[in-house]
Amino acid sequence: MLLPKTNYSSKFHFPTAIRMPLIACLSTCALLYTLSYFIESSFEKYLIAQNAIELHSVIDSVERELSYYDSNKEISELIPNILLILTSHSQLFINISDENNNILYKTRGPDLPQIFKKKNIDDLIVSDGTTIWDYGHSSYQINASRAISADNKKYLITVAISRNLQLEFTQRLHNGLLIIIMICCILVPLGTLFTIYLTQKPINRLIKKISSINSKSLNERIPRSFVPAKYSSLVDAFNEMISRMDSIFQRQHDFTADIAHEMRTPITNLTTQTQIALGNARTTAEYKEILYSNLEEFERLSQIITDMLFLAQADNKQLVPQLVEIDLASVYITMFDYYEYLSEEKNITLKLEGYCPSILGDHLMIRRAISNLLSNAIRHTPNGETITVTLSKISNKRIKVVTSNPGKPIEAKHLPLLFDRFYRTDESRQRNNEGTTGTGIGLAIVKSIVEAHKGEITVESDDKSTRFIILFPLLIKNKKSQ
C-alpha cells in the first residue's frame, strides 16, 4: 500500500513560482518608483531654489545700479554695468522699463513684457517670489521688482532664466530612473525564480524521496545529509513520524495475527469436537457433554468479540462513563470475594491496604478494570504469595491505586508495550495456562477504562514485584461526563 500522495507540485509550486516573483517585482517597482519620485521632486525643488537665488541676486545688483542712474545723463553709463552683471549668468534675460512702458534696456530673447498679459506682475512683486512662465517651446523662471533711480523715477525690472537645460537634464534623470525600474522589473523576478528554484530543489528532492516510501519500506530513513542543514529538523520530524508509522503498522500486523490466533483455537476446537461427535453415534449424555464443551468455546469467542467492540468504542472516543459515587475499597473487597476460589487454588492471599476518598466513575467499567488487573496478577503470581492493593490520596485532586504482585520481573523494554492488544512478553506467543487464561487484551481494556475516567496508568517491575499504578482524579460530584 502506497502512502497517499498530494498534488503538492500543482497546488503549491506553480502558484508560488508566479506569486512570489510578482510580489517581489511589484514591491521593488513600488519602492523604486517612490524613490525616483522623491529624487526627481527634490532635484526639481533644488533647481527652482537655485534659480530663485540667482534671480534675486541679479535684481539686487540691477536695483543698486539704478539707484545711481540719472535719466538726464547718458544711458551708456548704465548699460556697461548691467552687461557686467549679466556676464556671470548664463541663459538669463532682463527687461527694464519705466512707468510709461518705455524700455530702458532689454536683452535678446523672450519678449518679457508678454508676461504682463498672463500674470499679475504686482502680485509677483509683492510676494517677492518667482514664477514659471512657459513661452513657446521654452520654459522660464521669472522674477520682477520696482526700483527708483537717482532722479526719483520708477522702473520695472523683469528678469527671467531659461529652464530648458534643466528640464532636459531632469528628463534624462527621469528616463534613467525609469530604465533602472524596468531593468529591476526583469532582474527581480528572474532572481526570485532562481532563489525559489535553489530553495525548492532540496525540498522537491525530499518530496520525491518521501513519495517513494510505502508500507513495505517504512524501515527506510532519510539521512540528514540528503538536504541542507536548515531542513535537517524537517527530516528528523519525518523520520520520527515514519518510525511511529512503522511501529503502528507492525503492531497492526501483530494484532491481526494475534486475533486470528485467538479465534482460530476455539473455532478449531468446535470443528474438531463436532466432527468427532458426528463420526459415531453418541448417547444423550455424551452429546450434552460435547455441547457444554462447545458452549465454553462459544463463550470464549463471544468474550473476544465483546472485548474488541469495547476497544473499538474506546478508539473512537465513544466510551461515556455513567458517573456515580464509587467507594473503591468496597469494590475491591467484593472483587476479592469473587476471586477467592481462584486465589485459593494457588494459595494466594489478596490484601487491601490504605484508604482513599470515593470517586466518581462508571461502576461497571471500574469493576471490569479491577477484575482484569486482579486476574492478571493471580495469573502471574507464584503459589503461596500475596497480592497487595494499596489505596492512597496523593493530593487534593488525585488518588493512587497500586496493584502489586510478586513474580518474575518484566524486562524494561516490555513495560511500555504491556497495554498493547495481544502483546505478550513471551515472544513465542504461547498462551499461559497456569490456572486461568486470558485473551491478551485485558490490560488494553484497563487502560481504555482508566483514560475514559481522565486517569493515568503505568507499570513498574523489579525483582520484588510488578506494580500497576493508577491515578484517578477526584471529580466534582455535579460534573458531567465528558
Nearest to 376 by CA among 430, 440, 470: 440
DSSP character string of 377-424: HHHHSPTT-EEEEEEEE-SSSEEEEEEEE-SSPPPTTTGGGTTSTT--
Task: List the chain pLDDT tens, one digit each, 482 residues.
Answer: 344 444 444 444 456 667 777 888 888 888 888 888 899 889 889 998 888 888 888 888 888 888 888 777 767 778 888 888 888 788 888 888 888 888 888 888 888 877 766 667 777 777 777 888 887 788 888 888 888 888 888 888 889 888 888 888 888 988 888 898 888 888 888 888 888 777 777 777 777 877 777 767 777 787 777 777 777 888 888 888 888 887 777 767 766 776 777 777 788 888 888 888 787 877 888 888 888 888 888 888 887 787 777 777 777 777 778 888 999 999 999 999 999 888 888 899 999 999 889 888 889 889 989 999 999 999 889 999 999 999 999 888 899 999 999 988 888 888 888 887 777 665 544 444 433 445 578 888 899 899 888 899 999 998 889 999 999 988 654 444 44
User: Which residue in the block uniquely carries the three cell numbers 500486523?
Assistant: 253
Cβ-in-10-Å burial (0-12, 13-18, 19+) of 152 comes to exposed
Query: Could you tell me if 115 and 239 lie in one domain?
Result: no
d(CA 47, CA 53): 10
pLDDT for 475: 61
pLDDT for 370: 92
Domain end residue (candidates: 314, 341, 371): 314
Query: Could you tell me if 306 and 449 lie in one domain?
Result: no
Strands 386-393, 349-354: pairing kind? parallel
Three cell numbers, residue 172: 534624462
Alpha-carbon torsion (338, 342, 345, 351), positive or negative:
negative
Query: Could you tell me if 280 and 350 lie in one domain?
Result: no
DSSP state of 213: -
Strands 92-98, 398-405: pairing kind? unpaired
Angle value at C-alpha 400, between 397 and 404, nearest 5 degrees:
175
The answer to whether 221 and 239 are in contact (CB under 8 A) is yes
Q: Which CATH number fits the domain that encloses residue 444?
A: 3.30.565.10
Domain end residue (candidates: 314, 332, 362): 314
d(CA 349, CA 355): 19
Q: Which residues contact 397 (CB under 8 A, 6 or more apart)?
A: 473, 474
The answer to whether 447 and 307 are in contact (CB under 8 A) is no
Query: Could you tell me if 282 and 325 lie in one domain?
Result: no
- 3-class SS at 286? helix
Query: Could you tell me if 52 and 167 lie in one domain?
Result: yes
Query: Could you tell me if 309 and 324 lie in one domain?
Result: no
Query: Which residues on neighbouring strands pair with residue 445, listed in sequence order?
Result: none
Query: Could you tell me if 422 and 324 lie in one domain?
Result: yes
DSSP state of 218: T
- For residue 291, the Cα-to-chain-centroid distance in whole angstroms is 63
Q: Which CATH number fits the domain that encloses residue 285?
A: 1.10.287.130
Query: Could you tell me if 294 and 153 lie in one domain?
Result: no
Query: Could you tell me if 367 and 309 lie in one domain?
Result: no
Query: Could you tell me if 450 and 394 lie in one domain?
Result: yes
Strands, DSSP E only, in 263-340?
Answer: 323-326
Query: Could you tell me if 364 and 277 lie in one domain?
Result: no
pLDDT for 322: 86
Q: Which CATH number fits the domain that encloses residue 136?
A: 3.30.450.160
Tell me the residue range of the domain where 270 lies: 229-314
Q: Is the pTM of this model over 0.85?
A: no
CA–CA distances in Å: residue 136 to residues 109, 111, 164, 377: 12, 11, 12, 111
| Residue type present at position 287 | Y
pLDDT for 332: 92
The answer to whether 438 and 421 are in contact (CB under 8 A) is no
Query: Could you tell me if 242 and 368 lie in one domain?
Result: no
**Host H or E run for residue 98:** strand 92-98
pLDDT for 428: 44
| Number of domain units in the chain | 3
Three cell numbers, residue 39: 529624487
